[in-house]
Amino acid sequence: MALELFGLTVIKIAAICIEIANIGLLSGLIYLYIKSYRQIKIGFTVGLILFASVLLIRSILAIALLIIDSDALTGKQALIGGLIEFIALAILLKITWDY
């Protein structure tokens, strides 16, 4: 029997925490992209803003699905997917911050 807190398993709680971290990284990226767009108004930056915004919406929906619907996403799938996304976003934020 899995350890539960508020009806959520530990794996789902970890997946929710990672998605919250992803939201933080995406918010930082969107901030940097908007700041960059104000300096140099090119379409590529608009594309980056839209890309990060769509990923932000996905992370918010993933949290909602993990909390509301226990059958929609299994905790392990959400945890692994969120962890991979977190690593990719951390690399992207580091590169964006430096340049």
- Please give the pLDDT value at position 75: 73
DSSP 37-58: HHHS--HHHHHHHHHHHHHHHH
One-letter identity of residue 35: K
- Please give the pLDDT value at position 1: 47
pLDDT digits (tens, 9 = 90+) for 26-73: 999 999 999 999 999 888 899 999 999 999 999 999 999 888 876 656
- In the three-class reduction of DSSP (H, G, I as helix; E, B as strand; rest coil), residue 8 is classed as strand
- Domain carrying residue 21: 4-98
- In the three-class reduction of DSSP (H, G, I as helix; E, B as strand; rest coil), residue 6 is classed as coil
- Please give the pLDDT value at position 35: 95
Q: How many structural domains does the chain have?
A: 1
**pTM for this structure?**
0.82
- Please give the pLDDT value at position 2: 58
